[in-house]
């Protein structure tokens, strides 16, 4: 399996966006000589991650495809995963076979790396000569990035000053649980994945918005005119971005599930009760439905929210659920002014404060665990 010649051209250079190598945070040409061993280990890590991403999809373990990017736009990734699940099934069997073949070749080269370290063969040359590229669609590449950014996600206890906000952070060391790679590589990989995922998330929203009627200003509201960068991550206005996503979810008939917890502010934010509400889109907007009316295999957008009041201020369950169903749409300024009054802001979370959004199949949302 050894490569003993230098290639003059490479197909990787003509279409890097469709190859697994595009996730490497460096040019594979630079990994040669004594650095080739590290390059082989790092490419093996990507192969292992790709394998786990597609196995997670096959097994329905969608929690492993819920990436932490860092710009508070989890609803974008939730919709994108739901749309992937609705499209034609990926040829995961062929992908897994290609990945396994590439894994075995990389492992054999790792075992023989001393013969390669004295040559000018680069990681790119080795991948090209042995046909280890693993060509991928945009959706397939996205799933691998999602898996890696889910792998490094770590949940801590909420901060005292922000008790309702999920305190998730990125632990780059967890990359090493996939394969033994260096700390600098792990940090550079995660940084690149976060930046690329935030950028692609923006383009995903803008592409949807481009299909809105010309008279609707929403395309402008999610345009680059209102884009900001925060710590290297691209961000769109949350309200307008979410409105675009919900319109697309409705157009694609994607169910919505609300998982809501009652949090007692005067009892150290103890969970007092929970409810689960299911919705399907209609011509008049999303309407509540019975979970029994939904396809258990259907992907749904799941919104995890919290109502925070003093314990004695919560009504009985039916009245509380009716309150959750009462607040509906109009436009940004109206919502901005009303969010505090309704109890949907961090300063006043008495009705519903959104903590997280993700995608799961209806059958995985087990009522016995979330209802009380």
For 183-211, the pLDDT digits (tens) are 999 999 999 999 999 999 999 999 999 99
What is the rounded average pLDDT of the residues 302-323?
92
Structure tokens at 128: 């090209």
- What band does 338 get if pLDDT is binned at 50, 70 and 90? low
Range 131-155 average pLDDT: 95
Distance (Å, whole) CA 129 – CA 304: 48
pLDDT given at position 182: 96
Mind listing the pLDDT tens digit for each residue in 306-315?
999 999 999 9
pLDDT at 135 over 60: yes
- Give per-residue pLDDT as tens, 324-335: 887 665 454 566
Asked if pLDDT for residue 14 goes beyond 60, the answer is no
- For residue 125, the number of C-alpha atoms closer than 13 Å in the C-beta half-sphere is 19
pLDDT digits 0-9 by tens, 47-85: 999 999 999 999 999 999 999 999 989 999 999 999 999
Query: By CB neighbour count within 10 A (0-12 exposed, 13-18 middle, 19+ buried), where does 123 fall?
Result: buried
> Cβ(66)–Cβ(358) under 8 Å?
yes
Beta-carbon neighbour count of residue 325 at 10 Å? 12
The SS3 of residue 358 is strand
Which residue intervals of the chain are DSSP H helices?
Answer: 11-14, 36-59, 74-86, 92-111, 113-117, 123-129, 138-151, 183-209, 218-221, 238-251, 317-326, 332-342, 367-370
Per-residue pLDDT for 285 more than 90?
no
Tokens (6 digits) for 300: 């749904």
Q: How many helices (H) and strands (E) does the chain have?
A: 13, 9
Q: Given a cut of 90, is residue 9 above it in pLDDT?
A: no
* Cα-to-chain-centroid distance, residue 175: 16
**pLDDT given for residue 291 in this prediction:** 93
pLDDT mean over 143-157? 95
| Residue predicted with more confidence, 125 or 17 | 125
Distance CA 267, CA 309 (A): 10
């Amino acid at each position: 399996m050894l490569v003993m010649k230098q290639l003059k051209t490479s197909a990787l250079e003509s279409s890097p966006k469709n190859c697994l190598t595009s996730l490497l945070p460096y040019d594979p040409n630079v990994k040669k000589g004594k650095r080739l061993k590290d390059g082989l280990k790092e490419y093996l890590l990507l192969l292992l991650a790709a394998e786990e991403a597609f196995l997670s999809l096959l097994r329905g373990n969608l929690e492993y495809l819920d990436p932490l990017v860092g710009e508070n736009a989890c609803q974008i990734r939730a919709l994108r995963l739901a749309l992937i699940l609705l499209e034609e099934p990926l040829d995961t069997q062929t992908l897994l076979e290609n990945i396994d073949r590439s894994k075995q070749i990389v492992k054999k080269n790792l075992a023989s790396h001393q013969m390669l370290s004295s040559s000018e063969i680069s990681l790119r040359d080795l991948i090209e000569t042995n046909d280890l590229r693993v060509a991928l669609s945009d959706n397939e590449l996205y799933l691998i990035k999602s898996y890696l950014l889910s792998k490094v996600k770590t949940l801590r206890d909420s901060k005292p000053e922000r008790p309702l906000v999920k305190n998730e952070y990125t632990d780059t060391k967890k990359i090493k649980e996939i394969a033994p790679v260096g700390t600098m590589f792990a940090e550079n990989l995660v940084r690149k994945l976060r930046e690329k995922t935030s950028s692609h998330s923006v383009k995903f929203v803008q592409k949807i918005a481009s299909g809105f009627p010309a008279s609707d200003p929403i395309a402008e509201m999610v345009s680059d005119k209102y884009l900001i960068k925060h710590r290297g991550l691209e961000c769109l206005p949350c309200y307008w971005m979410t409105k675009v996503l919900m319109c697309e979810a409705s157009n694609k008939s994607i169910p919505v599930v609300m998982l809501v917890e009652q949090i007692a502010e005067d009892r150290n934010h103890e969970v007092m009760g929970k409810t689960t509400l299911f919705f399907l889109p209609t011509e008049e907007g999303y309407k509540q439905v019975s979970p029994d009316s939904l396809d258990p295999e259907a992907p749904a957008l799941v919104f995890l929210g919290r109502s925070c009041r003093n314990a004695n201020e919560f009504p009985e369950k039916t009245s509380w659920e009716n309150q959750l169903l009462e607040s509906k749409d109009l436009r940004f300024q109206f919502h901005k002014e009303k969010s505090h009054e309704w109890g949907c802001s961090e300063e006043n979370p008495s009705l519903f404060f959104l903590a997280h959004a993700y995608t799961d199949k209806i059958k995985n949302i087990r009522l016995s665990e979330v209802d009380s």
